[in-house]
């Protein structure tokens, strides 16, 4: 798979998942042995990822990647993303506030068989956590 193909596949995956709310893409784009180091994805596998996405759909249903930069090197890619959403439902134990939240992520993926195989992320959620009341400003 070329770098351009891998980039377009990731963008298509995210568009279908977050814009179209199409959970069928999980089976199409995630490897059957998918695993993530994210604390919000409870265990390996596609079903755990679907549960994570359902949590997002409930708490921040209009979540969108506002700006994405994707870097590729062989079978690895990095997506630097700025996200925006409205906290309109329960999320991480907090009832919907109606507030707009923004946060940034750095997601590293390893590819296998043209699918997302392994995922590592770093999330800058400080402002979003303060906005919905998970944290108080200093």
At the top level of CATH, the class of 3-131 is alpha beta
- For residue 47, what is the enclosing H or E element? helix 46-59
Residues near 95 by beta carbon (within 8 Å), at least 6 away in sequence: 89
What does the pLDDT profile of the chain (138 residues) look like in tens digits? 788 888 999 999 999 999 999 999 999 999 999 999 999 998 999 999 999 999 999 999 999 999 999 999 989 999 999 999 999 999 999 999 999 999 999 999 999 999 999 999 999 999 999 999 999 888
Domain residue extents for the chain: 3-131
């Amino acid at each position: 798979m070329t770098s351009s193909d891998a980039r377009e596949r990731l963008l298509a995956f995210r568009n279908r998942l977050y814009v179209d709310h199409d959970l069928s893409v999980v089976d199409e784009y995630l490897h059957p042995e998918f695993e993530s180091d994210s604390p919000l994805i409870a265990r390996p596998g596609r079903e755990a990822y679907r549960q994570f996405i359902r949590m997002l759909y409930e708490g921040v249903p209009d979540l969108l990647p506002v700006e994405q930069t994707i870097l590729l090197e062989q079978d690895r890619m990095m997506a630097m993303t700025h996200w925006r959403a409205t906290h309109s439902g329960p999320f991480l134990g907090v009832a919907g506030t109606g507030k707009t939240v923004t946060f940034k992520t750095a997601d590293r993926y390893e590819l296998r068989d043209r699918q997302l195989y392994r995922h590592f992320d770093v999330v800058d959620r400080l402002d979003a956590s303060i906005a919905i009341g998970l944290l108080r400003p200093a």
